[in-house]
């Protein structure tokens, strides 16, 4: 199972003071050295963390691949078509949210997201759609001919007790269904060092995208150690 390291919150710290440190380029390079299989970043419409320039500077530097998260809007699609990351993950975005709060609604926005996905695919970018673990949404992904999904694990992370178990069951079912239909399945959001184990046990998942918890852990044990520790947990539990 692969680990995609989301470096948005390295940029959050930089933007808090408008400095040029900490460097997102160093963060990406060191994460790759510590075992990251891809580098994920989200260019938000409000530019609260990543800036346009970061994308252009990171792209030639990455030894693994860039997974760029974007809202499905013209401005962002234009930038993606210029930067040409290996992967684009389309995510819903609301300005007032603290983080990406839900999955895309592919039923409501079918035509819009299908057209954007087709444009990106035609430019050689692999498209992933960020959705909740819901079979109806997966059916729409298949109808759009998009090859990859990322399942939102935020509810699993937030819930406790029975609700957490039910959400985990839904994630497992969604993974099995999507795999059977030939999709590549990633997952992420809200995963940390104590809750990632149950998700990592779902062997059919290709990649977990994790950011906030790794940045937080790095404060105490260092960035490379934090990435390596997460990679170790994922690898161990994916085998068990």
CB 206 within 8 A of CB 1: yes
The yes or no reply on residue 188 touching ligand PXP (CB under 6 A) is yes
Kindly identify the residues of this chain, within the stretch 67-86, that bind ligand PXP according to CB under 6 A: 69
42 as an active site residue: the answer is: yes
Write down the catalytic residue from 9, 49, 152, 189. Answer: 189
Instruction: Identify the residue whose tokens are 């974007």.
Output: 70
Q: Is 40 left (phi over 0), alpha (psi -120 to 50) or beta?
A: beta
The yes or no reply on residue 156 touching ligand PXP (CB under 6 A) is no
Q: How far apart are CA 231 and CA 237, in angstroms?
A: 10
Q: How far apart are CA 94 and CA 64, in angstroms?
A: 30
Kindly identify the residues of this chain, within the stretch 24-63, that bind ligand PXP according to CB under 6 A: 42
- Residue 48, φ and ψ in degrees, nearest 5: -75, -25
The yes or no reply on residue 167 touching ligand PXP (CB under 6 A) is no
Element (H, E) at 38: strand 38-42
State the pairing for strand pair 126-131/184-188: unpaired
CB of 225 to ligand PXP, least distance (A): 17
In this chain, which stretch among 13-21, 79-87, 182-190, 230-238 interacts with ligand PXP, using CB under 6 A?
182-190
In this chain, which stretch among 53-61, 175-183, 188-196, 230-238 interacts with ligand PXP, using CB under 6 A?
188-196
69 as an active site residue: the answer is: yes
Q: Which of 1, 7, 8, 155 binds ligand PXP (CB under 6 A)?
A: 8
CB 100 within 8 A of CB 189: yes
- Residue 128, φ and ψ in degrees, nearest 5: -125, 145
CA of residue 141 relative to chain centroid, distance:
17
CB of 10 to ligand PXP, least distance (A): 11
Between 62 and 89, CB nearer to ligand PXP: 89
> Three-state DSSP class for 18?
coil
189 as an active site residue: the answer is: yes
CB of 86 to ligand PXP, least distance (A): 15
Kindly identify the residues of this chain, within the stretch 97-116, that bind ligand PXP according to CB under 6 A: 99-100
Contact residues for ligand PXP, defined by CB under 6 A: 6, 8, 42, 69, 89, 91, 99-100, 130, 150, 188-191, 209-213
Catalytic positions, written as ranges:
42, 69, 189
């Amino acid at each position: 199972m692969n680990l995609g390291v989301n470096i948005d919150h390295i940029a959050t710290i930089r933007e808090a003071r408008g400095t040029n440190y900490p460097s997102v380029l160093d963060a990406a390079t060191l994460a790759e050295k510590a075992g990251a299989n891809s580098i994920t970043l989200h260019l938000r419409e409000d530019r609260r963390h990543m800036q346009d320039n970061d994308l252009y500077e990171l792209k030639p530097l990455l030894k693994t691949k860039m997974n760029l998260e974007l809202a499905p809007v013209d401005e962002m699609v234009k930038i993606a078509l210029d930067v040409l990351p290996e992967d684009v993950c389309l995510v819903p975005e609301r300005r007032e949210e603290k983080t990406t709060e839900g999955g895309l609604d592919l039923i409501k926005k079918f035509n819009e997201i299908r057209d954007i996905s087709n444009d990106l695919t035609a430019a050689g970018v692999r498209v992933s759609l960020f959705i909740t673990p819901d079979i109806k949404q997966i059916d729409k992904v298949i109808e759009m001919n998009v090859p990859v999904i990322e399942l939102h694990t935020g509810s699993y992370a937030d819930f406790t007790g029975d609700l957490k178990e039910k959400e985990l069951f839904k994630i497992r079912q969604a993974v099995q269904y999507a795999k059977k239909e030939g999709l590549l399945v990633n997952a992420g959001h809200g995963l940390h060092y104590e809750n990632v184990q149950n998700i990592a046990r779902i062997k059919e998942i290709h990649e977990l995208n994790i950011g906030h918890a790794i940045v937080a852990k790095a404060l105490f044990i260092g960035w490379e150690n934090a990435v390596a520790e997460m990679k170790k947990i994922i690898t161990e539990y994916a085998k068990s």
